[in-house]
Amino acid sequence: MASLISLSSKAVAKYLIAGCYKHLDSSLGEPLSDKVFDEVATYKHKVSNFRSSVSSIIAKQSGLKLNLTRFDSYLFFVNRFDLENLYLHNIQSLDIDFGWFCGVTEYIIEYRGEKGILDAVRILKRCLNEKSRQNLKKLGIGRYLKLQENWIEEVGKLFPNLRGFACRFEDEKHFERACKSFPNLFSFASSYRNDLRGLCHLKNLQILILDGSSVNSPEELRELFELPNLRILKASFSQGFFENLLRCDGTFKNLQYIECRQSDITETQFRALVGRHPSIKAIAALNKFQLIRSVS
């Protein structure tokens, strides 16, 4: 049975999309605002005015004002102005697509050929007010574009309380720089890696997502064993990851869950992994083994 909050959120979202609250001047608090906005997202392919409705909600021009704490630009048909209007909210979790800022002169530092170098710090300062920057716990940067050389270090200073970070880096060195710039991360996701040097700086890390990684030697993975609190390791669609992991001498003391969907792990490697790490409670391997294996 749906909860009262769930039913209320669905109803409010429906009336927001219909424009029924435009005559009001009131607001919803947190976290109810986020729940309502989640319900608004379900109308993405159902109504013709979805795009304009989302813009008015973000700009707090819908009569009933929502106060959002999380935003994923990939769930909505947003534009640059919507992202800039997040400044009106106390955002604590943000997934942002910098692609919306390409070609906008005020966000370009310099041009190299036809491609502009984006000022990531300026973009994030414009989209997030001071309170949001202090409180931001999770940041995801989806489409990787050309950014200024020191953007990683500057973003690290911008968000002192960041605990979750997701980004696909252009350069292997950027991965190590990110590890140094965000030492307090609880969760870190970076796809298509082949060298994990720098991980030793993330002593508090509990969740690591390395989907699509291609590993050629054990040396590239050794710093994984310098993460004393690691509980969840995901390396789906990886090549050579688990073979080289087993060639390392270390073991994980607190690892509870591994995900290796569509990787090249073999049955022998699978069994060796389980045998070496008694703390593991479950391994998700829906490719060759066709099930999620629970390990007692």
**Domain co-membership, 82 together with 174:** no
The b-or-e profile of 223-249 (16+ CB within 10 A means b, else e) is bbbebeebbbbbbbbbebbbbbbeebe
| Burial class of residue 74, CB neighbours in 10 A (0-12, 13-18, 19+) | exposed
Query: 62 with 74, same domain?
Result: no
CA dist., res. 158 & res. 147, Å (int):
16
The residue count for the chain:
296
Nearest to 137 by CA among 103, 109, 88, 95: 95
User: Do 296 and 172 share a domain, yes or no?
Assistant: yes
Query: What confidence score (pLDDT) does residue 143 get?
Result: 67
Q: How confident is the model at residue 287 (pLDDT cuts 50, 70, 90)?
A: low
Q: What's phi and psi for 71, nearest 5 deg?
A: -150, 135
- CB–CB of 233/212 below 8 Å? no
110 pLDDT band, cuts 50/70/90, is confident
Domain boundary among 162, 194, 217: 162
pLDDT number for residue 286: 61
What percentage of residues in the chain have a pLDDT greater than 70?
94
Both 267 and 194 in a single domain?
yes
Average pLDDT over residues 185-198: 92
Same domain for 126 and 219: no
Tell me the two tokens of residue 98. 């910098």
Global confidence as pTM: 0.91
Q: What is the mean pLDDT of residues 252-275?
A: 93
89 and 199 within one domain: no
Q: Are 94 and 155 part of one and the same domain? A: yes
Q: Which of these three, 147, 162, 177, is where a domain ends? A: 162
113 and 61 co-located in one domain: no
Residues 19 and 97 in one domain: no
Domain match, 186 and 156 both: no
Structural domain of 40: 1-68
- CATH number, position 275: 3.80.10.10
Looking at the fold, whether 60 and 123 belong to one and the same domain comes out as: no
Q: Give the Cβ contact number of residue 154 at 10 Å.
A: 17
User: Average pLDDT of 6-28?
Assistant: 95
Domain boundary among 46, 68, 90: 68
Per-residue pLDDT, 113: 66
Calculate the alpha carbon distances from 134 to 89, 93, 157, 158, 237 in Å: 13, 12, 10, 8, 35
Give the alpha-carbon dihedral of 160, 163, 168, 170, to 10 degrees: 30
CA angle 210, 213, 219 (to 5 degrees): 95
* Number of folded domains that form the chain: 3
Mean pLDDT (the chain) is 91
Same domain, 176 and 238: yes
When pLDDT is cut at 50, 70 and 90, the band that residue 293 belongs to is very low
